[in-house]
Structure 1
Amino acid sequence: MNDSGTLEEAYGRLHRTGPEFDGWLSNHGPMAVESMVRHGYGREVHRWLDTYVGRLDELPRGISPIGAEDWREALGDPNRLGDWLTYFDRELREQPWRAVLETWWPRLLPGIAAGATHGVIRTGHAIHALLRQQDERRLAELGQALGYWAARWQAIAGFDAPSGTAEPERAFAGVPRVPDQSKGINHRLEQLAGISGWGSALAALEPAADAEQARAHLTRLADAATLRYVTHAHGNPVMLVHTATAPTAVLRALPALPADVWGASLNAAWAAGAAVTAAYAPAEPAPRRDLPAVPGSAEEVFELAVRHGDEHVIKLADTALDVYHRTDDPDALAAVVRAATLIRPFFS
């Protein structure tokens, strides 16, 4: 069986399940299997799914069809998840997928916090798969991803275009922490509007002058978040993965998007990374002496992630390998080892 066929079969199994389970947890299956197949681990996919799908919920049913004129009322309503899945399934059957994306990406982008950023992350993985090959199941996966994003659409307080001079590394360092870190992400994000310095921290990033600069800034944003994970992961090793994987998802979507939305895409990715950082970053970074040794090769790192099995470790490894190939910084590989050390193994 070739890897392409493995991905189609995996999508077929996963599309019988919903984008969430246990009430609000995100179904990471499509993102993890896309990463595994692309990195040459297709032979491991079905064994992994045999365990993973048992925790998932059934595909949700709709309440009332969403039309071209009333979509705004349903945006961000998780009770309409089934309706949104049906809507995008229909849209992608009737129109070219790039046309659907051109219409909906700008509408969804301000709500990039959707599902703790999993809406945009799943969409980025789906686009990445479609850019390599277009078929019915990959189109269906894009529809599921967009539907999930629309249903969980959530804006970030203070979301606006940055206007500062800071590079991503310094901009992340200037993000304040939410005062009450006792509950989940929604409670934490609700505090952003009242944090002193949050607005100025969001504005601090240097804006992009054009589309190519937006791509370059977005690349550096993903790099900085991945490298920062090594020393800050102990704040919350699962949630802080998304500071790196959300910008990466946006970066991978750019080739399918009109250049005139690249700047807004950078701004939204920065807001998402900053929001998750504010919500979960630790008070102090870990001392270098407490950090894991750097592994021998990038290939060894992804194998480690697949052996570990946790979906977040797999997704981080997928991003970290991109970062390592761009930067040659061994901390990109160490980030995966750090995640595998702090996050409970999937097959334990």
Structure 2
Amino acid sequence: MILAAAVRRSGLDALSARASNDSVEFPHFLANHAPMVLVALDKLGASPERLEEWYETYRAKSGLIRIPDPVAPIDARTWEAALGGRAREADYRDFFAAEVRRLGIAGAVQTYLPRLVQGVAASATHPLMRLAYGILEQDRREVGVALAYWAACYLPLPAATGAQPKTEDPAEVLGAVDAIEGVHDYEPESDLLWHNIRAVGALPGFRPVVDWLAFDADAPRRMAATSLALFVGTMDFAAVHAVTGLHWARLVSPCLQNQEPLYRAFWQVIASLVPKIGFPSIPSPGELERMRRREAPPWSAIKAAAIRSDDEHDISLTFSCLQEEEVWNDPLYRVAAARRLALIP
């Protein structure tokens, strides 16, 4: 058993090292999920052979590209000047790799994430994903790449002002987006999630949204529950990122002295996606309870189906649902994963 685990770990490490040489995005501006999904597959129980097969399939299907050539060195005095410059990926990789070596994982995250957090919309929140998986694995290389990814694709939304919150209910924040002027007829540059986020975030009426939710120790649980309800009520692609993103935020937040800005900025991103999702209604408590009681396959069957899938979002959502159920003790996560994998209607 120990030998088999060592073989699996060796195979994952080798593949992860190869995957780290690919750029963080591929044309056009799509997030490279491979390094994170390999970890998820391994934790779901995939064999080394399946990891290899999945990576090669994903690499060919996506057309992954190499890291762009360096432009100029970045240091602690200049690192903020190039935020949002995708061409600086290699420069940011070099800088943050050195900072993680110098400060350690926790030290680097504590030093740099407070400045980056308002740009969590970067690449549709996938730098947060990469950072979360790097922290989960305690992988210094991946943490450095994640911070570089976040910096190179930095996409800020309006900052919190400390204004009086409107509600303790995350669902009320999402529902109130419907009344923002221009939110029904905005025009994103393309259908990419982050283009939608950017376009909605630029509406003048969207500026106060970041302050609407009252934040306390229970807020992450309420946000996770609302995200799950949003997903099972819509089964929408954008809503997948609400569920997985709260998982990622939960993994990252212990590294921060103040968790509120991360959660507040993340919920602002989900609010910006409400038009893209179609201004959905959140299912009622009764409807959610009926969904919760549905018969669904055991986790062993769900994990096996996810492992067979070539869809990165199937795997990512399944792993996040598995991990979140362990924390929040809500069987609706198992139902959600089973529905995403078409194991139940």
TM-score range relative to shorter protein: 0.7 to 0.9
Deviation at 1:219, TM superposition (A): 3.2
Q: Give the partner amino acid of 1:25.
A: L
The more displaced of 7-16 and 26-35 is 7-16
Matches within 5 A, 1:295-314: 295-314=296-315
Q: Give the partner amino acid of 1:61.
A: D
Question: How many pairs were matched up?
Answer: 320
Deviation at 1:199, TM superposition (A): 4.4
C-alpha distance in 2, partners of 1:228/1:84?
35
The 1:275/1:161 distance shift into structure 2, 3 A limit, reads farther
Q: Give the partner amino acid of 1:298.
A: W
Deviation at 1:294, TM superposition (A): 4.6
Could you tell me which residue of structure 2 aligns to residue 35 of structure 1?
A: 40
Whether 1:66 aligns to 2:74 is: yes
Matches within 5 A, 1:248-263: 248-255=247-254, 257-258=255-256, 260-263=257-260
Deviation at 1:23, TM superposition (A): 3.3
Q: Give the partner amino acid of 1:14.
A: A
User: Does the CA-based 8 Å contact 2:221-2:328 persist in structure 1?
Assistant: no
User: Does the CA-based 8 Å contact 2:116-2:151 persist in structure 1?
Assistant: yes
User: Does the CA-based 8 Å contact 1:60-1:82 persist in structure 2?
Assistant: yes
3-state SS of 2:76 partner: coil
The 1:252/1:186 distance shift into structure 2, 3 A limit, reads closer
Q: Give the partner amino acid of 2:90.
A: G
C-alpha distance in 2, partners of 1:325/1:122?
21
The more displaced of 178-187 and 240-249 is 178-187
What is the TM-score of this pair, normalised by structure 1? 0.82
Matches within 5 A, 1:72-151: 72-130=80-138, 138-151=139-152
Deviation at 1:178, TM superposition (A): 4.8
C-alpha distance in 2, partners of 1:146/1:21?
18
C-alpha distance in 2, partners of 1:219/1:6?
35
Could you tell me which residue of structure 2 aligns to residue 280 of structure 1?
A: 276
Could you tell me which residue of structure 1 aligns to residue 52 of structure 2?
A: 46
User: Does the CA-based 8 Å contact 2:120-2:154 persist in structure 1?
Assistant: yes
Deviation at 1:286, TM superposition (A): 9.9
Deviation at 1:96, TM superposition (A): 1.8
Deviation at 1:322, TM superposition (A): 2.7
User: Does the CA-based 8 Å contact 2:230-2:282 persist in structure 1?
Assistant: no
Q: Give the partner amino acid of 2:82.
A: A
3-state SS of 1:105 partner: helix
The more displaced of 23-32 and 320-329 is 320-329
Deviation at 1:161, TM superposition (A): 5.1
Deviation at 1:320, TM superposition (A): 1.3
- RMSD of aligned residue pairs (Cα, Å): 2.7
**Deviations along 1:88-117, whole A, 9 cap, x unmatched?**
122223332221111111111011000111
C-alpha distance in 2, partners of 1:231/1:159?
29
User: Does the CA-based 8 Å contact 2:23-2:65 persist in structure 1?
Assistant: yes
C-alpha distance in 2, partners of 1:275/1:82?
30
User: Does the CA-based 8 Å contact 2:68-2:87 persist in structure 1?
Assistant: no
Deviation at 1:129, TM superposition (A): 1.0
C-alpha distance in 2, partners of 1:318/1:68?
36
The 1:200/1:110 distance shift into structure 2, 3 A limit, reads closer
The 1:323/1:140 distance shift into structure 2, 3 A limit, reads closer
Gaps of 5+ in 1: 131-137, 343-348
Could you tell me which residue of structure 2 aligns to residue 154 of structure 1?
A: 155
Deviation at 1:247, TM superposition (A): 2.1
Could you tell me which residue of structure 2 aligns to residue 133 of structure 1?
A: none
C-alpha distance in 2, partners of 1:338/1:121?
22
3-state SS of 1:56 partner: coil
User: Does the CA-based 8 Å contact 2:210-2:264 persist in structure 1?
Assistant: no
